[in-house]
Structures are given as structure tokens and as C-alpha cells.
């Protein structure tokens, strides 16, 4: 028995030395027993809680190359393989034979299969899969029969596993860098992947709760796929173990002191580490039993056994939670293979072989210390004060949100003298602001006045009833499924023009579109009538935003210029240009129930007070009567440029999110007038889009749901964040976003997320899962912008401007 290591997380139960290297052999470990090869042809069975004396099994004539534990009808079985035999051992029966003075014996189920490198047992059907060369042999674990041979791989098969929820499915991985899904009844291939990596696929693991499986390669790459009923696998996420470790180390250096690091390394040790490939040797899932609330909710954590230690990954967020390296007093510093299992007491047991030596060690991971580490790391990385999009305190006295725009009344006339009052000054010939036409060009009247004698009186009660009915808000059908059927298609321009921005009005009756030619189009929600066109920008429009009152439309472009429009006028009510902004406006919107204009230009985040006046002087049309005034200005902490901004305007909220070019997301508290927290390394690149779960006037959500927001970055997918903990809670990576700035949006009910993609499709995700629900085609170009109707279950995608219906029945509109 070895002493507890210096890092206090690994306990070495025992270690033994074999006469030959066993670095790449498949070892066996279960909650109660572990099996190791002994003297090449024999096997020793150890009890995890009582290591002596071991149970020794003899029966193979060749070197044992693979072992696996399994249970069939509550009996613990051990499957072992060599070049001559595949033997199934009943462990309880073997113990009984030894106690009675006999020799432990097993049952031969396969003969002369070649060198078997991997064994797996199906507990439901008593079938066993043995991988030898480029073939997979399906054996009967109860008796010896002629095996069924599955052969289609171009290289040696490295692993195979039975599907837990469908015993007729088998997944195999190979050195040809592909995986295949087999139908064991017919022996057919149901799905075959493309070449995933330049290195062979080494490991495979099923996650039954999500209907997913994970495979890993020799260079540290991991792929997570779904296995639906139609057997068409979908990629959920792809991870690089080395990059995740680098990001994890950066976060530890910034947020956590070296005293609570799990590996005990100092800051200088971390900077001096050399980046090497980390082969995925073993994958194992284990739920964390921590007392911390955020860790209790993690149900997608998997352990990855690599050559230098164990890694705990969260597949929902694609983040590395912790790493436990093989250091200290352990007899093995570089692992060749892993066998991982949960102990009966709650701890995790790991059977490890040495990569370059002949040692085998049984390690125990202390669950109590592991939970303590999880809690300390979670509290070390959490924000100091819990934030919320819904305010819980009133405005402070000195809050920037208390600013008001001074109202200027009419200026009194200055009285200088009596002679000055009586003197006649030069005045225009017309004394009104509007000039009435003289009528010279109108046709003369040919009919005299005729009284109307057949006028019918309208019913006042019916008119009042119709008006009151139209004012009522109908409830959004939150029980509808995700969009699946298109029922309207519209081309916004006859020339190739980019649709750069898109948004529904608050009542869902109109859609505003910003185009690359500098114009803004206003459609009705059914896309059936001709749009209203607003021209005032000289460059591409990058933002359109509706006011909460549904009266004004805000647009910005690369001029830099900001214009505010009204639906019944072709000229902007307010224009802000180069004199206010030195750099282009990256994002702009109404904020705080239309009280402010929130702008981002360069590294500055600005709040403007404004007053809109729609009256016009026909003589002085060049002079606008609307006014704006800078109320507050905030700067990014590092001075980097802002790439995107998000804030809620549908209700009072103090929170403003800003994404910077330095890959950070900064959260500003406008009530206090300062930055509340910062998320470092939110993406591997700068986030080009931020959006919050703003809900809808037609649908009610739980208050906690408004704390969710999305961020999107090139080559780094879409991330779902929780504002209260400033942590990523889920990642969506099935869509393609490598070059264009594709945006995303929440549905009014908060159940779905829609995003554009570069593969000419749009993706609909469920916020409760990382899998996409629907992949909506019929687009001819990259889908950049998406928008949900806040009143009706439908959504619009651009640039093709396709309108999709939720549930597949176009009940609201007929096109």
C-alpha cells in the first residue's frame, strides 16, 4: 500500500510489476474488483476493498491481451481474450471453486480469433464483441457458437461498444480514423463517418441520458455525436483537450490562487509547461455529488484518461472543470491505459498501466476532497455579487439613469425701447410655417354642392367593441413546437444586396430590415405588401432597432451615422453623425423603456438623452427640431474596441452587456455607473453578437429566465450564459460559423434558440439540450440574421427572408 500523494486527491491502493510491458492492454475494473495480467497467460483478480489474497485464473495458452467486466442476470463476469481463446469467467463461481480446493475454470466462447485488443459485453442480451484486426466478432457469452463477423474498416479496430438503449446497435472505432454503426441482426452498416482526424480513434463511450456517444483520438480530439432513431448521427461538439487545458490554466492564473490548484503547480511551473498531444485513452462518466448548487446541476460531466492524468470535462459547456495530473508519490507518472469505475463507497477507482514500464497501479480518487476542490474552484471563479437582469433595488441618487433632458420653453421677447417695438422689421412675405397652394394647377369644380340624404348611422356599440377587441393582447402559444415548415418567401431586392439587420416590432405586425445599400425597409409581418423605404445612410446599415412604444425605428451604419425614423415620414426625425462619433457605431438601441439611446463606438459605451419632434418648417427644412445630449460615457476596462452590445428595453433593467475585441464580455451596472464583472476568454475570438432573453409582451417567463444571454464568435460556436454566475451553461456547435457574422435570437417563450449558418441553413436549438431540433434549408446564401415574431409563433431568416411557421399550419397568414 502506497501513501497518500502530496496533492491529496489520488490514493495508490497497490502497485505490481509484470514481467512484460502492458502499456496498451485493456485492463478491467468494476466497483468491487479489478483484473490485471500476471505472468503473461494468467489473470489476477483483486477485491478493491481487500487486496490480499488475489484470485488467480489460469486457462489461456497465449498472452492475455484484453479484459472486461460485465454483469448478466446479476452475475459478475470477466471476459478475457488471447490469441487462442476468449473465456468468460463467473467470478462468484471461481471463488467457490477455490474455496472447495479446486481450480477456477471458465467457459470458452471463442477460439483462434487472433490478437484481440478490445472486449465489450452487452448486459441485456449476453452478447460480446471482440475486436481483432480489422474485424469485430460478435460472440455469445453463454455458450460457444459460430461468431458473426463484422468487417468494413480499412484499418485495425481499436474499440467497440454496445448501445445501452438499443442492444441491436454496435459502434466501432478504428485506426482508419472513422467510426461505424452496425445493425447486429442484419450485419449491415447503418452509418459511417468521414475521416475525423489525422490520428486513430482510440476510445468510445455512451451517455445514455442524452442519447449521445463520445469518441477520442490519439491527438487529444474529442467528438460528441447524437444517435437518433434514424441513425443519422449529428455532431454536437468537438473539443481539443490541449486547448481546453491552456484556457483552464489561464483562468486559474487570473482568478484562483496557487494554493487551491489541484495539481499543486505554481504559476512559473504552468508557464514552463510544454504543449504535447494528449491521447484520449479512456472516457468515463460520473455525476458530481458536490454540495455546491451549480455543480449539482451538471449531469454531462465525463472523465478523460490521458497519458499525463485525468481531466474532467463538461460537455454542455465544452469546458475543462479540472485536471488531476499523475504527480507526487505515485509509482506511475505516464499512463499507457486506463480502466475507470465507481467504487461502492462513492469514490472512483482507476487501474493504470505505465506507458514505458511494466508497472500496474490501482488509484483511488477521493470523492470528498474532489467535491471540496469543486466547491473552492466554483467560489473562486464566481462573481463577487450576484447580478440579475431584473432589478431588485431602486435607483440610486447619483445613478446615471436619473439623468433628464432639460426642457427649453419659448424665449421671451427682449424689450429695448418703444421706438424699437413700433419699428417695422424685414419679414418674409409668408408668416406661416406651411405654405398653402394657390390652386392654379387644380381643375375647376364642375358640380355644385349636393347634400347627402342617404347617410346610414353606424352602431356605436359595435364600433366600440371592435376597437376594444383589437387593443387586447392575445397570449403567445408557448406550447408550440419549434419551426419546421416554410410558408412565405420574399426577395427584398432585385440586385445582390446584403440584409445586415432584422427585427420585429413589439406588436409583431411589422418587420424592419437594414440593407447593405444603406436603405431601411419596413414590411408588414406577412411579407405580402410593398415595403416602405427609408434612405438616409451612405454606407451599409449594420443595426435596426424598434422602440418599445413601436413608434420609432433606429438605424446605424458605417458612416458613422445614426437615424431615427417614424413610420409615416420618409425623412429621419433625428440624425447624429460624424460630429458626435469619431469611429463607426458598432451597436445601438433604445434603452430603459425608450428613455436613452445606448451606443457603442470604438471603446466607448455612451448613453444619450433625446427628444424627438416630428414637426417640420417648410421654409427651414434643413433644421431639425429633435435634440440629443450625452448623459454618460463608459469605457472598456482594457481600452479595447466594442464589437457588440446588448441591453433589455422591454422593462427596466440596469444591466448592459458589452463584448470586446480582447475576447472578453464585460457586464455594466448602469445603476451604479460602473463595470460589475468581466468574463475573460469568453470565446477564442471576439464575440461579434450578444443577445439577451428579453421575452415578449405576449408571453410570461420565470424571472430567472431573463438572466440568460447568448454570445456568438467565429469558429467558436454559440454559448449560453447565466448572468447570475457569469458562467457558460451550454454550448451550441452544430451550425457552421467560420467567416460571416451570423446572429442568434431567443424565442418569445424562451424555449428555443434560432441561429444562422454558413451552410445555407438555419438551426433551431432547444435551450435544455445541446442538440439542434431542426435544420431549416431552402436558403441560397449564408443565413446571417434571424428574428422571432413576439406575438405569433413564426420566425424570419435572412438574407432570403423566409418566413417559417411553428407547428406547420399557416393559420395566421396565407401566402
Handedness of CA 22, 26, 32, 38 (dihedral sign): negative
The tens digit of pLDDT for each residue in 243-263 reads 888 888 887 776 654 444 555
pLDDT at 367 over 90: no
pLDDT at 271 over 50: no
When mean pLDDT is compared over 441-455, 516-530, 707-721, the highest value belongs to 707-721
* Helix, strand, coil in percent for the chain, rounding step 5: 10, 40, 50
Q: Residue 375 — very low, low, confident or very high, per pLDDT cuts 50/70/90? A: low
pLDDT of residue 385: 60
CA 609 to each of CA 5, 267, 401, 544, 616: distance values in angstroms, whole numbers, following the listed order = 63, 47, 10, 19, 21
Helix (H, G, I), strand (E, B) or coil at 93: helix
Apex 363 CA angle, 116 and 202, nearest 5: 35
The tens digit of pLDDT for each residue in 67-85 reads 998 887 778 889 999 988 8
The tens digit of pLDDT for each residue in 420-433 reads 454 555 555 555 55
Helices marked H in 346-481: 367-381, 418-422, 460-471
pLDDT of residue 3: 32
Of 297 and 364, which is predicted with more confidence?
Answer: 364
- What b-and-e string marks burial along 208-220, b requiring 16 or more CB atoms within 10 Å of the CB? eebbbbbbbbbbb
Residues 6+ away with beta carbon under 8 Å from 469? none
pLDDT of residue 441: 58
pLDDT at 296 over 50: no
The tens digit of pLDDT for each residue in 577-615 reads 878 888 889 999 999 999 999 999 999 999 999 999 888
Helix (H, G, I), strand (E, B) or coil at 94: helix
Could you give the count of Cα atoms lying within 13 Å of 388 in the half-sphere of its Cβ? 11
**Would you say 310 and 321 are in contact if contact means Cβ atoms under 8 Å apart?**
no
DSSP per residue, 38-85: ETTTEEEEEESS--SSPEEE---SS---EEEEEEETTEEEEEEE-SSE
pLDDT at 812 over 50: no
Is-cis flag, bond preceding 34, omega within 30?
no
pLDDT at 815 over 80: no
pLDDT at 58 over 50: yes
pLDDT at 469 over 50: no
Q: Residue 11 — very low, low, confident or very high, per pLDDT cuts 50/70/90? A: confident
pLDDT of residue 571: 87
Nearest to 236 by CA among 215, 254, 219: 215
CA dist 221 and 236 (Å) reads 14
% of the chain exceeding 70 in pLDDT: 80
Apex 590 CA angle, 589 and 595, nearest 5: 155
% of the chain exceeding 90 in pLDDT: 33
Q: Let me know if 579 is exposed, middle or buried by CB neighbors in 10 A (0-12, 13-18, 19+).
A: exposed
pLDDT of residue 411: 56
Number of H helices, E strands in the chain: 7, 56
pLDDT at 439 over 80: no
**Would you say 382 and 725 are in contact if contact means Cβ atoms under 8 Å apart?**
yes
CA dist 327 and 533 (Å) reads 68
First-to-last C-alpha distance (Å) of the chain: 77
Question: What's the rounded mean pLDDT across residues 102-115?
Answer: 88
Q: Residue 345 — very low, low, confident or very high, per pLDDT cuts 50/70/90? A: low
pLDDT at 114 over 80: yes
Packing angle of the helix pair 367-381, 241-255 (nearest 10 deg): 70
pLDDT of residue 132: 92
pLDDT of residue 709: 96
Question: What's the rounded mean pLDDT across residues 148-165?
Answer: 91
Least confident range of 12-16, 210-214, 619-623: 619-623
Q: Residue 720 — very low, low, confident or very high, per pLDDT cuts 50/70/90? A: very high
When mean pLDDT is compared over 90-104, 402-416, 485-499, the highest value belongs to 90-104
pLDDT of residue 409: 56
Mean pLDDT, all residues of the chain: 81
Question: What's the rounded mean pLDDT across residues 353-370?
Answer: 82
CA dist 58 and 195 (Å) reads 41
**Would you say 352 and 279 are in contact if contact means Cβ atoms under 8 Å apart?**
no
Cell of 369: 476532497
The tens digit of pLDDT for each residue in 489-533 reads 777 777 778 888 999 999 999 999 998 889 999 998 888 888 899
Of 594 and 638, which is predicted with more confidence?
Answer: 594
Cell of 788: 422571432
Least confident range of 9-23, 102-116, 378-392, 526-540: 378-392
Question: What's the rounded mean pLDDT across residues 119-147?
Answer: 87
The tens digit of pLDDT for each residue in 734-792 reads 899 999 999 999 999 999 999 999 988 889 999 988 888 888 887 778 888 999 999 88
Nearest to 243 by CA among 276, 213, 265, 210: 276
Q: Residue 474 — very low, low, confident or very high, per pLDDT cuts 50/70/90? A: confident
Question: What's the rounded mean pLDDT across residues 33-59?
Answer: 84
CA dist 763 and 279 (Å) reads 32
CA dist 499 and 519 (Å) reads 10
pLDDT at 214 over 90: yes
pLDDT at 653 over 90: yes
**Would you say 732 and 772 are in contact if contact means Cβ atoms under 8 Å apart?**
yes
CA dist 548 and 697 (Å) reads 10
Of 718 and 420, which is predicted with more confidence?
Answer: 718
Question: What's the rounded mean pLDDT across residues 185-194?
Answer: 90
Of 177 and 374, which is predicted with more confidence?
Answer: 177
Sheet of 116-122, strands arranged across: 116-122, 127-132, 135-140, 148-151
pLDDT at 219 over 60: yes
CA dist 590 and 574 (Å) reads 13
pLDDT of residue 465: 43
**Would you say 27 and 332 are in contact if contact means Cβ atoms under 8 Å apart?**
no
Residues 6+ away with beta carbon under 8 Å from 163? 169, 170, 171, 206, 213, 227
Q: Residue 652 — very low, low, confident or very high, per pLDDT cuts 50/70/90? A: very high
pLDDT at 687 over 50: yes
**Would you say 27 and 337 are in contact if contact means Cβ atoms under 8 Å apart?**
yes
How many CB atoms lie under 10 A from the CB of residue 54?
19
pLDDT at 662 over 80: yes
pLDDT at 467 over 80: no
Gyration radius from the chain CA atoms? 35
Residues 6+ away with beta carbon under 8 Å from 567? 510, 522, 532, 551, 553
pLDDT at 472 over 60: no
Amino acid at each position: 500500500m502506497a501513501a497518500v500523494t502530496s496533492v491529496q486527491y489520488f490514493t495508490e491502493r497497490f502497485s505490481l510489476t509484470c514481467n512484460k510491458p502492458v502499456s496498451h492492454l485493456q485492463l478491467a475494473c468494476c466497483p468491487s474488483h479489478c483484473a490485471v495480467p500476471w505472468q503473461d497467460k494468467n489473470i489476477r483478480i483483486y477485491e478493491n476493498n481487500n487486496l490480499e489474497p488475489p484470485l488467480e485464473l489460469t486457462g489461456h495458452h497465449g498472452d492475455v491481451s484484453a479484459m472486461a467486466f460485465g454483469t448478466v442476470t446479476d452475475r459478475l463476469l470477466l471476459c478475457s481474450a488471447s490469441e487462442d481463446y476468449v473465456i468468460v469467467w463467473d467470478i462468484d463461481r471461481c471463488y467457490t471453486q477455490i474455496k472447495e480446493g479446486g481450480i477456477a475454470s471458465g467457459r470458452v466462447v471463442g477460439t483462434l480469433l487472433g490478437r484481440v485488443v478490445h472486449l465489450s459485453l452487452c448486459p441485456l442480451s449476453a452478447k460480446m464483441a471482440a475486436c481483432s484486426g480489422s474485424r469485430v466478432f460478435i460472440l455469445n457469452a453463454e455458450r460457444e457458437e459460430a461468431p458473426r463477423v463484422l468487417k468494413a474498416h480499412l484499418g485495425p479496430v481499436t474499440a467497440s461498444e454496445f448501445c445501452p438503449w438499443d442492444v441491436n446497435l454496435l459502434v466501432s472505432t478504428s485506426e482508419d480514423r472513422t467510426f461505424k454503426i452496425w445493425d447486429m441482426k442484419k450485419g449491415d452498416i447503418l452509418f459511417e463517418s468521414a475521416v475525423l482526424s489525422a490520428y486513430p480513434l482510440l476510445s468510445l463511450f455512451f451517455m445514455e441520458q442524452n442519447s449521445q456517444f463520445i469518441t477520442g483520438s490519439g491527438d487529444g480530439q474529442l467528438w460528441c455525436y447524437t444517435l437518433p432513431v434514424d441513425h443519422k448521427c449529428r455532431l454536437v461538439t468537438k473539443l481539443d483537450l490541449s486547448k481546453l487545458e491552456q484556457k483552464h490554466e489561464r483562468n486559474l492564473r487570473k482568478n484562483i490562487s496557487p494554493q487551491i490548484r489541484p495539481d499543486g503547480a505554481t504559476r512559473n511551473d504552468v508557464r514552463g509547461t510544454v504543449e504535447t498531444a494528449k491521447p484520449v485513452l479512456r472516457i468515463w462518466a460520473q455525476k458530481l455529488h458536490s454540495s455546491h448548487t451549480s455543480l449539482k446541476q451538471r449531469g454531462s460531466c465525463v472523465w478523460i484518461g490521458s497519458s499525463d492524468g485525468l481531466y474532467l470535462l463538461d460537455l454542455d459547456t465544452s469546458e475543462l472543470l479540472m485536471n488531476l495530473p499523475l504527480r507526487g508519490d505515485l509509482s506511475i507518472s505516464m499512463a499507457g491505459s486506463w480502466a475507470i469505475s465507481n467504487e461502492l463507497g462513492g469514490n472512483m477507482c482507476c487501474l493504470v498501466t505505465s506507458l514505458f514500464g511494466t508497472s500496474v497501479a490501482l488509484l483511488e480518487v477521493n470523492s470528498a476532497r474532489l467535491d471540496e476542490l469543486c466547491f473552492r474552484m466554483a467560489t473562486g471563479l464566481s462573481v463577487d455579487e450576484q447580478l440579475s437582469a431584473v432589478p431588485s433595488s431602486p435607483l440610486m441618487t447619483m445613478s446615471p439613469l436619473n439623468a433628464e433632458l432639460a426642457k427649453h420653453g419659448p424665449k421671451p421677447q427682449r424689450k429695448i425701447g418703444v421706438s424699437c417695438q413700433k419699428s417695422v422689421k424685414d419679414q418674409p412675405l409668408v408668416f406661416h410655417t406651411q405654405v398653402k397652394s394657390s390652386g392654379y394647377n387644380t381643375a375647376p369644380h364642375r358640380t355644385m354642392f349636393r347634400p347627402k340624404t342617404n347617410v346610414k348611422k353606424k352602431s356605436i356599440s359595435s364600433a366600440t367593441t371592435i376597437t376594444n377587441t383589437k387593443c387586447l393582447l392575445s397570449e403567445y402559444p408557448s406550447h408550440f413546437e419549434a419551426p419546421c415548415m416554410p410558408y412565405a418567401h420574399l426577395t427584398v431586392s432585385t440586385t445582390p444586396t446584403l440584409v445586415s439587420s432584422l427585427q420585429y416590432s413589439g406588436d409583431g405586425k411589422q418587420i424592419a430590415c437594414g440593407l447593405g445599400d444603406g436603405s431601411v425597409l419596413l414590411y408588414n409581418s406577412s411579407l405580402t405588401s410593398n415595403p416602405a423605404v427609408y434612405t438616409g445612410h451612405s454606407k451599409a446599415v449594420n443595426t435596426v432597432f424598434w422602440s418599445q412604444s413601436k413608434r420609432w425605428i433606429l438605424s446605424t451604419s458605417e458612416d458613422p451615422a445614426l437615424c431615427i425614423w417614424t413610420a409615416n415620414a420618409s425623412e429621419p426625425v433625428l440624425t447624429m453623425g460624424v460630429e458626435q462619433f469619431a469611429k463607426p457605431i458598432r451597436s445601438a438601441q433604445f434603452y430603459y423603456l425608450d428613455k436613452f439611446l445606448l451606443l457603442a463606438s470604438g471603446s466607448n459605451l455612451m448613453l444619450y438623452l433625446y427628444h424627438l419632434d416630428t414637426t417640420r418648417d417648410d421654409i427651414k427644412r434643413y433644421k431639425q427640431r429633435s435634440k440629443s445630449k450625452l448623459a454618460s460615457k463608459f469605457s472598456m476596462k482594457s481600452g479595447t474596441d466594442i464589437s457588440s452590445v446588448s441591453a433589455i428595453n422591454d422593462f427596466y433593467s440596469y444591466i448592459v452587456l458589452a463584448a470586446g475585441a480582447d475576447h472578453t464580455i464585460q457586464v455594466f451596472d448602469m445603476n451604479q455607473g460602473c463595470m460589475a464583472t468581466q468574463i475573460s476568454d469568453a470565446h477564442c475570438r471576439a464575440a461579434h453578437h450578444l443577445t439577451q432573453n428579453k421575452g415578449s409582451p405576449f408571453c410570461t417567463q420565470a424571472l430567472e429566465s431573463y438572466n440568460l444571454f447568448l454570445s456568438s464568435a467565429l469558429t467558436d460556436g454559440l454559448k449560453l450564459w447565466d448572468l447570475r454566475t457569469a458562467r457558460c451553461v451550454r454550448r451550441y456547435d452544430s451550425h457552421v460559423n467560420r467567416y460571416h457574422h451570423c446572429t442568434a435570437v431567443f424565442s418569445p417563450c424562451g424555449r428555443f434558440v434560432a441561429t444562422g449558418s454558413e451552410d445555407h441553413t438555419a438551426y433551431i436549438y432547444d435551450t435544455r439540450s445541446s442538440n439542434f431540433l431542426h435544420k431549416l434549408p431552402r436558403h441560397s446564401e449564408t443565413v446571417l440574421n434571424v428574428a422571432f415574431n413576439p406575438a405569433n409563433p413564426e420566425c424570419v431568416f435572412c438574407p432570403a427572408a423566409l418566413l417559417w411557421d411553428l407547428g406547420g399550419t399557416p393559420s395566421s397568414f396565407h401566402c
